[in-house]
Amino acid sequence: MRSNFSASFTDTISDQMHNEILTTMLVFLSSTNREIVKSILGFVKLVIHTLPTDLIRPHLKDLVPALLSWSHDHKNHFKVKVRHIFERMLRRFTWEAIYSCAGEEEASKVLINIKKRKERAKRKKANREQEDGEADEACPDILSMLPTDSGCAIDCSFKGCCWGRFRRCPVWQSE
């Protein structure tokens, strides 16, 4: 209920009220009741996404350690939810701002793991794009070596059934 209310009236709620809500949220985040924490994690996700960074930044020193305390909990998918919240936070705030609030070495391992995952995904994406680029460059050479009249590997009337590089056939693209 609080999430929907806060999201719907973000513009009409004063900054002081937002600060009070965030402070209350931090108290609930330290609760041992899983149902409360589950709903607060959803609210934190919403807050990170909707509120301006200027309102959230003063609360980072309390918010980051509170979230990290739930990052090792496997029940109710809290670990995944907390990781997702940190990924969103890292999009809005700098790495240094988040990492400096982490505190203890064990908790900062979670943030380092998120950073490594992000870098690994970027490398994989770059490698995939590079491989696709090489495949596109190789396609016309392969097609020119095939023994057909039109330069196409198969009869162009069946182009809806073809796979892979043949879809990028220069003969089809000129039609």
C-alpha count within 13 angstroms, C-beta hemisphere, residue 6: 23
State residue 40's pLDDT score. 92
C-alpha count within 13 angstroms, C-beta hemisphere, residue 152: 19
Residue count of the chain, please give it.
Answer: 175
User: Is the pTM higher than 0.85?
Assistant: no
Q: Which range, of 11-20, 64-73, 159-168, averages the lowest pLDDT?
A: 159-168
Q: Say if residue 94's pLDDT is above 60.
A: yes
Q: Report the share of the chain in percent with pLDDT over 70.
A: 68
User: Which pLDDT tens digit goes with each residue over 102-159?
Assistant: 877 666 788 888 889 989 999 999 998 888 777 656 555 555 555 555 545 555 544 4
State residue 174's pLDDT score. 52
169 or 20, greater pLDDT? 20
Q: Are 87 and 48 in contact (CB under 8 A)?
A: no
**Backbone phi, then psi, for 174, in 5-degree steps?**
-80, -15
The CB density around residue 43, as the number of other CB atoms within 10 Å, is 21
DSSP per-residue string spanning 76-139: GGHHHHHHHHHHHHHHHS-HHHHHHHH-SHHHHHHHHHHHHHHHHHHHHHHHHHHHHHHHHHHH
For residues 3-30, average pLDDT: 79
Dist CA 133 CA 150 (whole Å): 24
Q: Nearest-CA neighbor of 28 among 18, 16, 40?
A: 40
Mean of pLDDT over the chain: 76
